[in-house]
Structure formats: structure tokens, C-alpha cells
Amino acid sequence: MSRAFIFPGQGAQAIGMGRDLAEAYPAARAVFDEVDEALGESLSALIWEGDAESLTLTQNAQPALMATSLAAMRALEAEGVTIGAAAFVAGHSLGEYSALTAAGSLTVADAARLLRLRGKAMQEAVPVGEGAMAAILGLDLAAVRTLVAEAAEGEVLAAANDNDPAQVVISGAKAAVERAAALAKEAGAKRALMLPVSAPFHCALMAPAARVMAEALDDVHIAAPAVPLVANVTADRVTDEATIRSLLVEQVCGAVRWRESVAFMVGQGVTEFWEIGAGKALSGMVRRIHKEASVQAVGTAADVSAAAQSLTA
């Protein structure tokens, strides 16, 4: 059975995530300590004892989710499950940094600093209130693209996340997103849900953040991943360091092609997906993309134990 390790993106964060991993596995605790040191603050205290509003801030949520994913990965390694147990790694948006760190392309410290910067740059790229995002439920990508073309009216509007066959997230200027959401029902959507996000991610309005990340990534060492990454913006495998660097910059404005990424991995023989880190959002998407897939979430100490046992059963 071929498997992929997949890593969640923003929205999966929750107060207390990863705490039982840190308590059960010294290697997991070390990840949180390394992130705290890299950022010069106790992010772990916010994750475990803080308030949800502060954790949800993009600049905090991004490194926090990476830390939790890597803590789960280190716990798996302590149980004898290495990155080599996966044929591919992939991550949703910021989860791509977690995937690359798990595969040895980035250090935990570099990933933490990059994600803190990425979160700040994405937040600052568009003044608060000028951008928005909405989830369009019940329409496929082609239908949403038609809707976007109709609603844009010269403003920035894009299909930002192609999550699964019936969920596409749009992003752009607030008025354009609102127009699209209003038209969605007429186009056959079951629902159009405005998302509680602080910025319009993965659209052209993020260009200032892309420039910030291009400069930052130029100064960071990126190694070849131990297993291939399936990249957000290409939905294809990549192992070349220079290409990975370029795609991480492109990813800031580019669409997250998650449905296609999962389909690619299935086409390469992957039958089992492990969601490494907080939440189960990606697990649900994978099931909707490929109903025959075996999916398990690995975000707690109990999950780690169960996953490790499944390999030896």
C-alpha cells in the first residue's frame, strides 16, 4: 500500500493542539522549544494556554500549525515511522512548508521564521476590509471560474483553493467576492459562505507578500526533499531545490490545486493518506476527491500510536 503524508493549512488551529504530543514524546516537545527559540517568544504558551483570537492571527497560526505538524512527525519517528514510509508529501497552503520541513528540505527554525514573516506579509499586503474570501459549495472549478468572470467587473477575483469536487474558495476584492457570493445560488451552488479571514489569500492582491517571500527565501537553504513534494501550484511532483524555492513564491498569489494534487497522488498509486497535524479538514477533502482512499488523522499521541501500529499489523 502506497501512502502520502499530507499537512493541514490555516483554519485547522485550535487551542491545546499538540500538547499531548509534547507531553508524551520528548522529540515532539523539542519541536515546540525550537520554534519558541527561533521566534524569540513562547508561541507554545499561546498554542496551549492562550486565546483563540490571538492564535487565529495569521502570523501566529501559520508557525503554530507547522510546529504541531512537525511535533506529530517527530512522534511518529519515535515510534519508528520515518518519512520514508510515504511516497509523497503535500500540504495545503502553509502546510506546504510543514511538508517540506518533514521531508528535510527546511529546518524547523527556518520554517518557523519564514511562516511568521509570511503571515505578517500576507496580512499587510491588503488593508483590512478591502479583501475577502468565500467558500462556494456545490459547484466545481469550471463553474466557479465562470462565476468569477461574471462577478469580477474589473476587480481582482480568483478561484483561490480548489479543495474538492464541490468546494472551491474564491478570493479577491471584497465587493467582487460579495457579488460572486450573491450570484452563486443562481449558478447552482448549494451555498456561498463568506469566510472569517483577515486577508484575501492566494490571489493577485498578495503580490506585495510574494515579493517579501522571494527575498526571504533567497536567504534560506533549501535541500532536496527525502520524498517528492506535490506542489500546490502545479499539482505535480517536485524534488529540485531551485524549483521548490520558485514555487513557494508563486504559491502566495497562486491557487491551491488540492483536488488535482490528491488526484495526481492517487494516479501514482497512493491509496492511503495520513493527515499529519491539527484537525481533519484535509481528510474530509480526500474522501470527497477519492472515495476509495484510506484516510487517517495523526494529530494526537493516541493517533500516533494507532498509525504506527497500523504499519506493523
Q: Measured in Å, how far apart are the chain's first and last C-alpha atoms?
A: 13
Q: Where are the beta strands (DSSP E) in the chain?
A: 2-7, 88-91, 131-137, 157-164, 167-173, 191-194, 229-230, 237-238, 270-276, 294-298
- Looking at 44, 69, 93, 98, which residue is catalytic? 93
Residue 159's φ and ψ, nearest 5 degrees, are -80, 110
What backbone torsions phi and psi does residue 189 show, to the nearest 5 degrees?
-70, 145
202 is catalytic: yes
CA distance 102 to 66: 10
Q: Which three cell numbers stand for residue 104?
A: 528535510
Q: For residue 222, give Cα distances in angstroms to 35, 77, 103, 209.
A: 18, 22, 11, 20
* Cα distance between residue 8 and residue 56, in whole Å: 14
Residue 307 · residue 76 · CB < 8 Å: yes
Distance in angstroms (rounded) separating the CA atoms of residues 20 and 98 = 19
Angstrom distance (rounded) from CA 198 to CA 68? 22
Catalytic choice (69, 92, 105, 202): 202
| Collapsed DSSP state (helix, strand, coil) of residue 93 | coil
| Nearest one of 64, 54, 1 to 279, comparing CA atoms | 64
Q: Are 238 and 229 in contact (CB under 8 A)?
A: yes
Q: Is 92 a catalytic residue?
A: no
Catalytic residues: 93, 202
